[in-house]
Amino acid sequence: MINSVWQQGALIEITITDLSDTGDGVGRFEERVVFVPDTVPGDRIQVRLLHVKPKFAHGQLKQILEPSPHRIRPSCIVADKCGGCQWQHIDYQYQLTAKRNQVIQALQRIGGFSNPSVDPVLVTASPLGYRNKATYPLDVSSTGKVQAGYYQKGSHQLVNLNQCPVQDPRLNPLLAEIKQDIQQLGWDIYDETRHQGEIRHLGLRIGRRTGEILLTLVVKEGNLPGIAEQAEAWLKRYPQLVGVCLNRNPQRTNAIFGRETRCIAGVPYLREIFAELEFQVRPDTFFQVFTETAEALLEVIQSELNLQGDETLVDAYCGIGTLTLPLAKQVHKAIGLELQAEAVQQAILNAQHNEIQNVEFHLGAVEDLLPKMGIIPDVLLLDPPRKGCDRSVIESLLLSKPARIVYVSCKVATLARDLKLLCQNGLYTIQRIQPADFFPQTSHVEAAAFLVLSQLDKNT
């Protein structure tokens, strides 16, 4: 007989004891795990059950019976609706504790490491106002007003914003005013259900060190009457604005950017200073959104490697050379591998602009390029996407056995999976793992793992 408590819509009372890697609070009721968004460990709450499974359930917070000591008032007035942040209601020090625990738990549960050495989470600047990039979907309200913001949690219902406390505050004036300009110009807003209309997203990027801003409209086809004149007007209005671009994305897809970007006015990139080098960052360039913390993690990598100048370093998944180029200045030779042709082109330009000559970049998939290189690097840097390394990449490393590996991960579950394979049979040893908070106010955590080849294998 099924217990009537475990039915959709039933109300239960639980105490939240943990946080999941997706940011939800975790509690237990009758030995069954219950996940509840917008909660904090220590909260005593009333929950309405939404989805009930044999071993777990998802619920909706109905009432806080007793708040956690770690619960705070969010900085954003729409934090309870907007899906951009999950943790603004949690005090920042506890966010850091939860993120370190997330790394430890992934290494234990997935990697099988009994006592992983995980440092405190690396932090730098304020956990608010840190993002150097914002990409807002656009919509039209029931009264015909142009809106821009982020989607509500678990939906495609837009939460309209005129400012955002996690974005660089220098971007906020553009958000409100450009919406008004689009409204006055009468440009059509894209409707994803009908696949009609023009403007899909408003993209804003800023160089944290230079202050330069890049504005990009993501459009379906690009039929925007008067766009050239308006782009020039924006450049005159905003002294920090260096370029206005159109990115064309005609596909029926959730991907934000399409393959074609053209500059309407100014230049198609902004300049950013990173690790004392100057980088060109384009609208669709991958560049970490928290410049200061990314730079701090690079400094940890440099300190841990203690490079002597005679090494060969391979940077797999190198992007535009954000890590490759600073490290190239400290080694004999650096080699970057990257799948995206546009990123390789930018990496080469960034190397030339910074007069770094001991570096080369190769276009292709890491799993194809790495086994064919014919060299064993002294240091291999891995910085894969969220899915982690392809199995053939791991197998290539198990055969070539570079002396040191630095694995920078944006998803600790795949990091733990790959480290388990690299450390099997004692081949590699983890020296330390440094988590870094690239995304405060969210459940996301990055980490750098430092591995060394075992002495036995060095001698074989």
Residues acting as catalytic residues: 410
> How many angstroms from the chain centroid is the CA of residue 5?
39
Q: Are 41 and 17 in contact (CB under 8 A)?
A: yes
> Across the chain, which distance is largest between two alpha carbons, in Å?
74
Residue 160 burial by Cβ neighbours in a 10 Å radius (0-12, 13-18, 19+): middle
Contacts of 134 (CB under 8 A, 6+ apart): 164, 167, 171, 175, 203, 204, 205
Residue with the two structure tokens 């975790």: 26
Separation CA 443–CA 111 (nearest Å):
20
C-beta atoms surrounding 284 within 10 Å = 20
DSSP state of 372: G
Cα dihedral 232, 236, 239, 241, rounded to 10, equals -20
Tokens of 60: 């909706």
352 φ/ψ angles, rounded to the nearest 5 degrees: -65, -45
Of the candidates 201, 213, 207, 214, the residue with the CA atom closest to the CA atom of residue 263: 214
Residue with the two structure tokens 């932090």: 123
Q: Are 328 and 313 in contact (CB under 8 A)?
A: yes
C-beta atoms surrounding 70 within 10 Å = 18
The helix/strand/coil state of 333 is strand
Please name the residue ranges forming H helices in 246-290.
none
Contacts of 228 (CB under 8 A, 6+ apart): 264, 265
The string of DSSP codes covering 149-181 is EEEBTTS--EEE-S--TTB-GGGHHHHHHHHHH
